[in-house]
Amino acid sequence: MKLAFFLLRLLSPETSHYVALNALNLFYKLNLINFFYPYKYSGKPFEFKGLTFQNRLGIAAGLDKNGDFIDPLGALGFGFIEIGTITPLAQSGNPKPRIFRFSDQGAIVNRLGFNNKGVDYLVKKVKNRTYKGILGINIGANKCSDGQKRIDDYIECFSKVCQYADYISVNISSPNTPNLRSLHLEENFLPLFEALSLARKEKEYTKPIFIKLSPDEDKKIISAIIDAIKEFEFDGIITSNTTIEKDNLRYSGPHNLDGGLSGKPLLSKSNELLKITHEFDPNLLKIGVGGVDSKESFNSKLDFGASLVQIYTSFVYQGPEIVKRLLS
């Protein structure tokens, strides 16, 4: 396994990502996952709004954008899987190279830009899954959409996935789609939240809706969003998405590093947002994500108010073994 990880790192980050996931899928089809990764969590499940999370650790959106790898990821022992971000229409995302790895710092910078195969493709994959655990679906808007069309994109995705999602997360915080983070402004998030609330009632969707936040906004903006989340009776938040600040990232290479920073350097910033949101409303459910790569950082999310925790970058670097490391 160590040799396999070494060889993967010789490939470009985006190529190695898909090679690794397809290898995991092959292991799953050959019934080899339990042989290589036999860990089974034996602790107490977490209950929320009628959902039973077998444990508090999940995989964050972005790893499996299209729902191609739900079953193999679900076999690794996660308490929940989140797929997406999905948009109404397929789109290729931003130009390559668009993923930059800093393995010595446990960090990744990406500017993917919601590359995905479209919501209809994802729905087909979700309908054909055998995974019976908690599945969240992260929704967004196409790059070309703005104003009312952007709201329409979210509603189209919501309407198409709600029948199959145990929860829906609303991505208003990716830094890699132009102007998407403007949805943190009250004049923009209020119409979106109102449209989502109406769609929820029309579809009779009773399962949770979470809003995924940026770690780069000030307290006043976050406070306004929390108030609106409570007003529209949404169920929680995901804190946080990647950060555009890279002051604590060491880099002297040739590439422009525009994009979102994830991994270990994000831990303190995402924990600060988690702490702030918990102070604003300790009863609002929070999924903590950002910088979790050890038992200590996992516990820090819970200490700052998260009920559930997600990982992405540490899974890329440490592989499936990290599930046991964090939950044991």
Q: Read off the tokens for 25.
A: 């899928």
- The candidate with the shortest Cα–Cα distance to 136, out of 62, 33, 76, is 62
Give the C-alpha separation, 205 to 326, whole Å.
32
Helix ranges, the chain (H): 2-8, 13-29, 33-36, 70-74, 119-127, 147-161, 186-203, 219-231, 267-280, 295-303, 313-318, 321-327
Catalytic site residue from 16, 169, 174, 300? 174
Catalytic status, residue 174: yes
Give the C-alpha separation, 63 to 61, whole Å.
6
Q: Read off the tokens for 317.
A: 């670097």
Helix ranges, 30-76 (H): 33-36, 70-74
Give the C-alpha separation, 58 to 75, whole Å.
12
Give the C-alpha separation, 269 to 216, whole Å.
8
Active site residues: 174
